[in-house]
Structure 1
Amino acid sequence: MYRLAPLCLFAFSTAMAAPVVAPPDPGIDALMQRYDGQVPGASVLVLKDGQPAFRRSYGLAVVEDRTAVTPASNFRLASVSKQFTAAAVLLLAEDGTLSIDDPLKKWLPSLPTVADGMTLRQLLSHTSGLLDYEDLMDPADTRQVHDIDVLRLLEKENRTYFAPGSSYRYSNSGYALLALVVGKASGSDFATFLRQRIFLPLGMTHSYAHQDGVDDVPNRAYGYSEIDGRWQRTDQSTTSAVLGDGGIYSSIDDLAKWDAALYDERLLRRSSLQLAFSPATRTNEPDVPHYGFGWRINGDALWHSGESIGFRNVIVRYPKQKLTVIVLTNRNEPEPYSLAIDIARRWLDAAR
């Protein structure tokens, strides 16, 4: 049986639902100037010691009707979603429903023999060697791919980039398959599991693993790209319906509740959080020496970016300093990691 959310959690959720007034910061406003005005915008949240130290939105969530971005605007998180997929697997491990060392084929037996040595742990840490499903898609087929279609594509490929567990390669395929494992192990489906076991217990009532025709995203920010000097809506691609690797929509206000849950045991046991936040493998990515489960690890910093058509996002956490910076944007560029680091330095430097 899984644990019910404690009563104190609902008090926290109610408090966070109320408007929060954080001090203005002209320095951050200057950094965010390009997102302000009648252009695709951004939401920025700085949490220090569990409280909003800066919370502000800029620009437009919907360019066509000039709907402004607010702290409640929901952006497609893209690969920031991976930390939620990893958390879902860890919750099922706590339930005793699965083990992170289970063979992948225990849950997805239709995969070819090349997957015989793969484990869920390897998918979580990008060390499985699975082929990128994006490279296997038919470029002439404009239909959206779903997680189950990723499995169908991989069922036909009895080859990998490397022997399972022998190297690192960032893999959207692995997280799409993990979403299917969550569905199969829980007897539900991935989107429903996230909502029932993570979003609602934490008070993230407006967050969804979005499925067209199944749910509607409230306060939705749409994605845009600058093409020939004009902003054009580029909200969806053929891969935008894959949930496990990047299909979650959320806001800075809901993500504040997620960040709070990563400091205690209201959602995951401390041992599970330690697994997620500890180096599981070395990477080959510049300036990112290690990867955990759904988190990049660089010294004291835990972070993840999310890039998909029309969206660029990042969450950067410094748990020892109780500092988190979240930047969500609904445009194709630039990637906001360096921006988030510049914002974080305002607090990190002050503490020295």
Structure 2
Amino acid sequence: MRFAVSLALCVFLAGCVASPSRDVALDVLMKRYDGDGPGASLLVIRDGVPVVRRGYGFADLEGHVPASPQTNYRLASVSKQFTAAAILLLAQDGKLSLDDRARRWLPTLPAAADAITIRQLLSHQGGLIDYEDIMPADTRVPLRDRDVLGLLARTDHLYFTPGTSYRYSNGGYAMLALIVEKASGKPFQDFLRERIFLPLGMTNTLAYVREGPAVAHRAFGYSKEGGHWVRTDQSMTSSVLGDGGIYSSIDDLARWDAALYDDRLLSDASRRAAFTPWTPTDDPMVRYGYGWRITGETLWHSGETIGFRNVIVRYPRSHLTVILLTNRNDPEPYKTAVHIANLYL
């Protein structure tokens, strides 16, 4: 009896007894990340308990540093859920309204953007021109969020009338980061640290700026060129924070995932707003909330940038989450994460 109780407790607390067939299937799915190349960190959380928590391959090829659960990856567009949460926190504080016109906070946006609301920026319904398409070809200094505003200020049209369509907008989320700064009176990276990361115990997560703290346990990004891995860690858009500038680890993201089940950070109303499928997207299977894609019962977001491919997939009704962070340009990990989730559903 004592053995049976101890075994049950072990399974509950740590997922230490696993199905051999499930382990084999997991190894097959993750095989491409293992070995001597750039790797990945994988977390599977079921009922609040990590049942898989592993690193594969290397976070730093030149330094021969293995990937681990503490490795911090550039999240790319997985960052958008934190930008959205910052806006929702300020709305809870009464510092802004989601129905505010963006130009109330950023008056140098062009007149064509006059009707765009914060709510529309959150759900990619603003119609702003893609800043990546209008940045000068000879750009040599990495853009910051304020530089994106400068580019957009010189445009005189939108893709569509705000609120009438959907177009994924990195620039819209850069504008949201600037609105956070205006409404809070703090640099965006400081607001995230003080209001989200530190309260949740995400002590190694940060929106990275060159003049700020270094990234601890940092993964560097790589791309395969001519059969060899080449470090491709930063581009001219890597310093834009609102759309993709956060570094985090699977250990810290486990704390973020837990906070999305209750009101320790966001109110019930704010979480419902974030997870509401406000608009269809360019994929008929996907709708968009505030910083989250929604497919069936899943809440998810991917993040792709030079040298990094990441995804978080949550199944709230099943209390299951898969987080897969990688420091390589290929493969895109969403399908892998869904296959992994199916092993545990």
TM-score by length of 2: 0.94
Partner of 1:78: 76
Per the alignment, residue 320 of structure 2 pairs with 323
Question: How far is 1:31 from its partner?
Answer: 1.1
8 Å contact kept, 1:304–1:315: yes
Q: Which residue matches 1:342?
A: 339
Determine if contact 1:23/1:53 at 8 Å carries over to the other structure: no
The correspondence of residues 1-352 of structure 1 with structure 2, limited to 5 A, is 22-23=16-17, 25-288=23-286, 290-348=287-345
Q: Report the counterpart of residue 10 of structure 1 in structure 2.
A: none
Q: Aligned partners of 1:117, 1:94: CA distance in 2, in Å?
A: 23
Which is worse superposed, 70-79 or 276-285?
A: 276-285
Shift of 1:27: 2.2
Deviation at 1:333, TM superposition (A): 0.6
Q: Partners in 2 of 1:173 and 1:251 — Cα distance?
A: 25
1:208-252 deviation digits (Å, cap 9, x = unpaired): 000012120000000000000000000000000000000000000
| Residues 16-62 of structure 1 deviation map (CA, whole Å, 9 limit, x = unaligned) | xxx97755623212211111111100000000001101111100000
State percent identity of aligned pairs: 60
Task: State the secondary structure of the residue aligned to 1:138.
Answer: coil
SS of equivalent residue, structure 2 residue 220: coil
Superposition deviation, residue 152 in structure 1: 0.2
Measure, in 1, the Cα distance between the counterparts of 2:237 and 2:267. Answer: 33
Q: Secondary structure at the match of 1:206?
A: coil
Deviations 1:249-302 (A, max 9, x none): 0000000000000000000001100000011111122531x1000000011000
Q: Please tell me whether the aligned partners of residues 178 and 244 of structure 1 are also in contact (alpha carbons under 8 angstroms).
A: yes
Looking at structure 2, the residues matched to 284 and 35 of structure 1 have their Cα atoms a distance apart, in angstroms, of 30
Moved over 6 A (4+): none
Counterparts of 2:249 and 2:301, CA distance in 1: 16
Aligned length: 329
Q: Distance in 2 between matches of 1:108 and 1:230?
A: 44
- State how far apart, in whole Å, the 1-side matches of 2:17 and 2:133 are: 46
1:240–1:23: structure 2 CA closer, same or farther, 3 Å change rule? farther
CA distance in 1, matches of 2:164, 2:93: 29
